[in-house]
A = this chain, B = another copy of it.
Amino acid sequence: MTETTTAPARRAGAAPAPAPETRRPVDPHLMDLAARRVAIEGIDPEIDGGRFPAKVARGQRLYVEADVFGDGHDKVACALLWRKTGEAEWHEEPMRYLVNDRWRGSFKPQAIGPHEYTIIGWRDVWEYWRYEVGKKHGAGVPIELELEEGARLLAASVGAGRGSAEDQTALKRLAEAMKSAPDSERFRQLMSDDVAGLMQRAGHRANLTWYERVLPLTVDRRKAVFSAWYELFPRSMSGDPNRHGTWDDVIRRLPYVQGLGFDVLYFPPIHPIGATNRKGKNNTLRAEPGDVGSPYAIGAAEGGHDAIHPELGTFDDFRRLVEAAAEHGLEIALDYALNCSPDHPWIKEHHDWFDWRPDGSIRYAENPPKKYEDIVNVRFYDGDKPIPSVWEKQRDIFLFWISHGVKIFRVDNPHTKAFPFWEWVIAEVQRDHPEAIFLSEAFTRPKVMHRLAKVGFTQSYSYFTWRNTKHELIEYMTELTTTVKRHTMRVNFFVNTPDINPVYLQTSGRAGFQVRAVLAASLAGNYGIYSGFELCEGTPIPGKEEYLNSEKYEIKAWDWDRAGNIRQDIALMNELRQRHPALQQFENIKFYNMWNDNILYYGKRSKDLTSFLLFAVNLDPHNDQGGNFEVPLWEFGLPDGASIEVEDLVADYRFTWSGKIQHVHIDPQQRPYYIWRLLSPTGAR
């Protein structure tokens, strides 16, 4: 049920107080407090007292809970109000009583962009009247007076202006009829469910109280919560380490990426690369002739952040790529890395955007005593004051690439730029482009990462890359899906990145790659791989979490059909994600009992249980592991001895489990995971 409620316009955070109409001046504080007779508190979600928005994606339902109660024996009712920010009218959804004065309501926003919601509560005088009369009638106490009071209560709602025209007419007619009706007729009518419904729709809401705050909500498009990313270096797509790849080379790779089942294709920076202090292969300080440099050292004579590296091709070529990608079900994501090479045009054009040292040199990026001599940082502040031209220019760069068909940005190291800048720029961009998605590439302290999510980032890199054991994974998933972070932080589980060659994968062999692929694709709504992962590439610089001969500093040629690749596993996971609604949500995870600490065993399911998947993943890539486990028959209302039909989603056949306890044995060399679908038995639930 959706109803429309109009309230006087007012600033966010304040709720309206009715105008006092008493005979003499009264303490306005008294009037203000008195207007909020019903207690409304403990709203969830409410992020930092309403300072930051909660988040949903279009098609998702936002569930809102609150404690709502009145004084004395009052019965109260409450409703959830919501609207797209800027709309005049509120949509109203009823709230349902749970327990212990807690209520829940929900809504499903239809549009993307900023929304807001709040709660109203009122004394449900009519329900209390029915309760009172019912009790007294049942106890044989006389109720003539009560019936007269009921008739008057009804009449007092005529003119309340609520409900449909039909309701209002019916209310008026009934009130008239009740004036002179005999008691038996009054009792029959006034106590009826029909009249209760009429009063719910059209009756006056006594002591209508608005919650003190209007709370913000960001509604994103669906890819904000459900996406599969594939990262590649365009310059490595020629297939020849001696020839710089072009957009056309990338276009030729699109069927491959589509075949793996991804829907976002993400490139490291595509801009001209500086020559001054260019890094050589394996991040050496001096480049050799022919070294291509790091794409993160942005800016050269050919241009900066709004230019394309000439060897990749032209803007026309790029446009063709964007279109071709779309035809392959792929959306392009670009890297926004606010590093400038010493050759960046801004350095000459905008002296005040940079930090100059007393000797007239520019300040390089540093992590004392280390100095990154191929990059300088733009500054956002001159001392205490922001430099608006810097902020605006960055906004314009996002808008520039949006005008070239790019709506997804992976943002490099956002935690090294000021939080207020992100809060401002993301809102600025999304004002006209609410479809824009910003992925925060911050690997840093937890509160910093969460703050970036709160100030506006659509998605966030995570600690997944370093969560390997059963205990670590359960603890981390529980934090992400049960604390406030479920409303604020959409993680994107990357299994690797050009910067992170995880220790686990350096030694796990092929089985470990399968394990991490299955975990990422099933645990998170958003996940990603950096190319090479599907080929089980994991050769490190010894003792480091970095790739040997990293693609960041040289052109690579990959053998996409390399023996032992796990392309099939990845394609399967992406296909299952598309096919099974249970995999398209994030919070719907439950870890079940598996009596082996090396096997992670969990279920993902839709609310109605029609989509119910179980995963058993052997986290130990080197050894066979087996264990008894519990089939969650109880979720279907089945007894422990019941049977349930199961579909093996990898081997593609059906069988039956009889009884709650089953056993599994997993040989990682064969396949380190099982994926089962439970078929809801007819009759159960």
Query: Which residues of A does B touch, CB under 8 Å?
Result: 18, 21-22, 26-27, 29-31, 33-37, 39, 41-42, 46, 48-51, 67, 69, 71-73, 100-101, 131-132, 135-136, 138-139, 141, 145, 148-149, 152, 206-208, 212-213, 357-359, 361, 366-369, 381, 383-386, 388, 391, 415-421, 423-424, 445-448, 451
Contact A21 B385 (CB under 8 A): yes
With A41-B451, A417-B72 in contact, is A368–B132 under 8 Å at CB?
yes
Bound Cα distance from A103 to B361, whole angstroms: 37
With A138-B369, A145-B357 in contact, is A384–B208 under 8 Å at CB?
yes
Bound Cα distance from A359 to B30, whole angstroms: 32
Cross-interface CB contact of A386 among B31, B139, B424, cutoff 8 Å: B31
Q: Which residue of B lies closest to A41 (CB)?
A: B48
Residues of B within 8 A of A72 (CB): 415-417
Q: Which residue of B lies closest to A125 (CB)?
A: B383
9 other A-B residue contacts (CB within 8 Å) besides A34-B386, A132-B366: A30-B386, A30-B391, A39-B447, A41-B451, A72-B417, A100-B445, A138-B369, A141-B369, A208-B384
Contact A447 B381 (CB under 8 A): no
Bound Cα distance from A416 to B74, whole angstroms: 9
Contact B357 A71 (CB under 8 A): no
Interface of A is mostly: mixed
Residues of B within 8 A of A49 (CB): 46, 48-50, 213
Residues of B within 8 A of A368 (CB): 131-132, 135-136
Cross-interface CB contact of A367 among B73, B208, B388, B419, cutoff 8 Å: B73
Q: List 15 A-B contacts (CB under 8 A).
A: A21-B385, A22-B385, A30-B424, A34-B386, A34-B391, A49-B49, A49-B213, A69-B451, A71-B415, A72-B415, A72-B417, A101-B445, A101-B447, A139-B369, A206-B383
What 8 A-B pairs are tightest by C-beta distance, nearest first? A49-B49, A34-B386, A139-B369, A33-B420, A135-B368, A72-B416, A26-B388, A148-B358
Bound Cα distance from A41 to B49, whole angstroms: 10
Residues of B within 8 A of A419 (CB): 37, 39, 71
Contact B451 A39 (CB under 8 A): yes
Bound Cα distance from A37 to B381, whole angstroms: 10
With A71-B415, A358-B152, A391-B30 in contact, is A384–B101 under 8 Å at CB?
no
Residues of B within 8 A of A145 (CB): 357-359, 361
Contact B447 A69 (CB under 8 A): yes
Contact B448 A101 (CB under 8 A): yes
Bound Cα distance from A33 to B386, whole angstroms: 10
Residues of B within 8 A of A138 (CB): 369
Contact A29 B424 (CB under 8 A): yes
With A381-B207, A386-B30 in contact, is A420–B37 under 8 Å at CB?
yes
Residues of B within 8 A of A139 (CB): 369
Bound Cα distance from A386 to B21, whole angstroms: 10
Q: Give the most central of A34, A135, A357: most B CB within 10 Å.
A: A34
Smallest beta-carbon distance A259→chain B, Å: 41
Residues of B within 8 A of A451 (CB): 39, 41, 69
Bound Cα distance from A71 to B419, whole angstroms: 7
With A49-B213, A100-B447 in contact, is A418–B37 under 8 Å at CB?
yes
Cross-interface CB contact of A149 among B22, B358, B367, B369, cutoff 8 Å: B358
Smallest beta-carbon distance A427→chain B, Å: 8
Bound Cα distance from A358 to B27, whole angstroms: 32
Bound Cα distance from A30 to B368, whole angstroms: 31
Cross-interface CB contact of A136 among B136, B141, B207, B369, cutoff 8 Å: B369
Smallest beta-carbon distance A537→chain B, Å: 32
Residues of B within 8 A of A424 (CB): 27, 29-30, 33-34
